[in-house]
Structure 1
Amino acid sequence: MFLLRDILILVGSSSAICKNQAREGTTECMLHRLDQGKLYRGSLTETVTGKPCKPWPSRKNAQSFIIKTFKTETGEEKDRRVPGNFCRNTGRGEPYRLKPWCYTDDKRRNWEYCNVLPCNTEAFERECDIEQDFIRNADGYVIDAYKESCVMIEQGLFDQLKSSVSQKPIKSKYDEAVDRITISPFFDCGQHYRGIVSSSATGRSCDRWDRQDSHHKNFGKMKTCRTPDFNYNEMSPNSCGTHNTPWCYTKQENTDDPRFEQCKIPDCSCSNTFLRYTKFGQNFKVPWDLTPWKSNTEADAFVELIDPWNKNVPCSDTRDCPSMCKTEKTRKERSVDDYDETEETVGLDERGSAMRTINGYQNPPGSSPWLVALENTNENSQNKEGWRQFCGGALIHPLFVVSAAHCFDTRKKLNPESVTVVAGLSNIDGQVSIKIYPHPEFRNVGDGFDIALVQVNKPFWFNGMVSPICLPPVNWEPEPNSICLIGGWGLQTGTQEGGVTETKQRDEAHQRRKFVDSRLALVRHIERDECRCALNSKRVNQNETEILESQLCFGHGKVDTCQGDSGGPVVCKNPNAKSADAEHPFYLTGIVSYGVETTRRKDEKKINYKCGGKSKT
């Protein structure tokens, strides 16, 4: 189903930002989305589809030139400028377009845009891009940009983990490793801060990092607070140490003014969301309250779960939440041992179809700021023209994402830089992976331990569209029939084989594109006995399927995650939270792992690795 695209207002934004940035540019790359490439003077000579560029029509209208050597009648060699075939957008008798382009030999359309690469510009420096990504669909929504960002702090789980490990009479090598850690990795002190605060704690304006007396000129013209000389040795479990937090050079109006001062940066609140629905005088904070979704047909498949979700109570009505344990054996399902997410979702899959969460709601930007996409950027991968998203993940730290271990084959683990983590639904922020840490006990899907950490090369900028999810207390899991949120970019309609439909789905998989919106849906937590009954009645394999203590089961009617959603978060509300403003309103409860093969006709259920479980390290 297609929705009309309306306007999402960005609170506090200014169109002047985009206008000012649009006048900027570079000669080798695209500075940001509104940079039309008028200053581009690079050497690209092919279009986005790989067609070679033709030389520009004439010297008068040529947007680029090359130097060729000719021989005169006397045999003398002379250099002459002739029209080149480089991608350009300089005008000169040709129309200005949205970005660099060139003429081609295609008779149907004689010109195409060129894929000029973006500059390696930090997300926080691309305010124009951020503004454009916020101003996107969903009538009635308002989002608070929160561009100033925050400093990551400890959630209180580190002490719980240390305490649980210290009480064990026999300790594994992993427990011993935890014993050796003295400072929580979430106690960040601002070393990974990437916000735009540009004044000191006393209110003095920050100066440029590349000023004459600076020792950190690599930051260039930037005037925002940073921690360029962070020193771990100055930290203690409860103290960052002197001058070990974000600071900046300050403008010296008088000779006795200090050269630099520390900045005052607010602490991050995990699971914080910034999206509100304000139409008709209402004010619902999404996704804590999903009342606005009840009137949309996209939520029909789970509309009966919205009220218990809003009230933060399990579903108690057996008509709305019937048992998923069925005794009839309707069809044979493939074995969980055959499940291979990377094979199924990178490029074309023989069971390909439209790519989104099955029976989900179009994700309004900012409603799940912790949701990230994992993209295969290997040059040899399939589907080069499309978006090579293969799994999802959950942001828990400026440098770390949680995903499923089965998403990463040996090639990816040996070449982690082939994986890019994209946050903010679109390309607000994308960082390259530098290390993948699968659970050391993971062997196969279905055997547990299907969890991995992905470390990226640069910290993510936390803002209204990109924000971390809270981890749950140790050994916590939701009550049966608790309502939880799933989402991702996976296949939307599930497996359908044979005939015209299969051919159409295969063609759609070829056209896979980067979605600016994922899909979200509500499911409920299914007790292990009920889930075991449901799975075995559908014969996932010849042997009886066991649900491990480290696994949780979720599902509801025809709602499900699908191929491409693996590694994505299962998010449940903190049962003690009374509102979206609670300290930890949402918990990362599980990671999508595996499930029965999906169609649109059957009750579905998915097995997820439990976060905070006893076997989790």
Structure 2
Amino acid sequence: MIGLQKFLLFHLLMCLEQNVLGSEIIHGEKAPENSMLYMASVQNNRGHVCGGFLVSEDFVITAAHCEKNNLTRVVLGNHNLKKVDNNRHRSVVKKCKHPSYKTPASGNDIMLLKLSKKARLDNRVQIIPLPRTDNKLKDREVCRVAGWGFTETGGKVVNMLRAVDVPLVNLEVCKTNWKYISFNLPPNVICAGGYETDKGFCQGDSGGPLVCNGLAVGVVSFNMRKICDYPNVPNVYTDISKYLPWIHNILKKKTC
């Protein structure tokens, strides 16, 4: 029976690259309107597909794997996607995908989106600061992830932004848990939630930030394909601190 379970999980992981949309928030709560003002809904012509977060007046960070969804615009300053203020729309004029990105499973799952017009910073829209290159995170430190994704496996995206607190998972523990199901984690990742807790992200949350002590330290990348029935293996985020020179170069030049 254990051998069969490992085979099935391995098969699911091999499909990971074919259908990763990120995740929605599991066992979370609606985010207060005056909180997380950096959150962005990354959309195509059909609506929300990924999360993101504002890091300058010109740029939003999201996951590189979101590019396959034909992204066209970003919505800022709206926790409720049914009540979108048209003044908060920004077209996406350039997609700065990390040059080494191939698949979520191989890592480097990070992308900057250049906005058509600068965001207006006010009581509804704000920038979130990034960590330092020597950023230190503590095992089991409680951080926060948010998004408009599914609230259960096989569900659908929601209109109201939801958030949940998730504990960081030691990277070696995370690697061991993923390796047990025959998957080697890519480099430059952070693990949080989904393991030893019933909280984490799900489909539709990709690209959103993992926020620790007010800093955006991670980007939602992947979980066990479409399985958000936690606890299972830890959720995986791109470690922003490992990409700061590349990010700051783009923000400085305002192009890629």
Tell me the TM-score normalised to structure 2 length.
0.82
Residue 396 of structure 1 contacts residue 468 of structure 1 at CA under 8 Å; is this kept in 2? yes
- 1:571 correspondence with 2:211: yes
Q: Which residue matches 2:92?
A: 433
Q: Which residue matches 2:42?
A: 374
Q: Which residue matches 1:469?
A: 128
- Cα distance change of structure 1 residues 341 and 567 upon mapping to structure 2, 3 Å threshold: farther
Q: 1:535 offset after TM fit, Å?
A: 1.7
Aligned residue for 1:467, secondary structure, equals coil
Q: Which residue matches 2:251?
A: none
- 1:423 correspondence with 2:82: no
Q: Which residue matches 1:391?
A: 50
Tell me the TM-score normalised to structure 1 length.
0.35
Distance in 2 (CA, whole Å) between partners of 1:457 and 1:375 is: 14
RCO greater where, 1 or 2, for CA within 8 Å and sep 6 or more?
A: 2
- For 2:235, the aligned partner's letter is K
Q: 1:488 offset after TM fit, Å?
A: 0.2
Q: Which residue matches 2:27?
A: 359
Extract unaligned runs of 5+ from structure 2.
247-256
Superposed CA deviations along residues 482-513 of structure 1, whole A, max 9, x for unmatched, are: 11100101111124xxxxxxxxx5xxx5xx67
Identify which of 532, 539, 553 aligns with 2:175.
532
**In the TM superposition, what are the counterparts of 1:254-333 in structure 2 within 5 Å?**
332-333=8-9
Identify which of 177, 180, 184 aligns with 1:545.
184
Q: Which residue matches 1:335?
A: 13
State the percentage of identical aligned residues: 22
RMSD: 2.5
Q: 1:448 offset after TM fit, Å?
A: 1.5
- Cα distance change of structure 1 residues 340 and 408 upon mapping to structure 2, 3 Å threshold: farther
Q: 1:357 offset after TM fit, Å?
A: 1.0
Distance in 2 (CA, whole Å) between partners of 1:482 and 1:397 is: 27
Q: 1:328 offset after TM fit, Å?
A: 9.8
Runs (4+) off by over 4 Å: 327-331
Q: Which residue matches 1:523?
A: 166
Aligned residue for 1:397, secondary structure, equals coil
Aligned residue for 1:474, secondary structure, equals coil
Residue 339 of structure 1 contacts residue 594 of structure 1 at CA under 8 Å; is this kept in 2? no
**In the TM superposition, what are the counterparts of 1:449-528 in structure 2 within 5 Å?**
449-495=108-154, 509=156, 515=159, 517-528=160-171
Distance in 2 (CA, whole Å) between partners of 1:601 and 1:401 is: 29
Aligned residues between the structures: 233
Distance in 2 (CA, whole Å) between partners of 1:536 and 1:560 is: 20
Residue 341 of structure 1 contacts residue 563 of structure 1 at CA under 8 Å; is this kept in 2? no
Distance in 2 (CA, whole Å) between partners of 1:419 and 1:448 is: 24
- For 1:593, the aligned partner's letter is S
- Cα distance change of structure 1 residues 398 and 340 upon mapping to structure 2, 3 Å threshold: farther
- For 1:375, the aligned partner's letter is Q
- 1:603 correspondence with 2:241: no
- For 1:528, the aligned partner's letter is L
Residue 178 of structure 2 contacts residue 185 of structure 2 at CA under 8 Å; is this kept in 1? no
Aligned residue for 2:55, secondary structure, equals strand
Richer in strand (by share) = 2
Extract unaligned runs of 5+ from structure 1.
1-326, 346-354, 378-383, 413-417, 496-504, 574-585
Residue 477 of structure 1 contacts residue 589 of structure 1 at CA under 8 Å; is this kept in 2? no
Distance in 2 (CA, whole Å) between partners of 1:490 and 1:329 is: 30
Q: 1:616 offset after TM fit, Å?
A: 6.0
Residue 341 of structure 1 contacts residue 566 of structure 1 at CA under 8 Å; is this kept in 2? no
Q: 1:364 offset after TM fit, Å?
A: 1.1
Residue 528 of structure 1 contacts residue 547 of structure 1 at CA under 8 Å; is this kept in 2? no
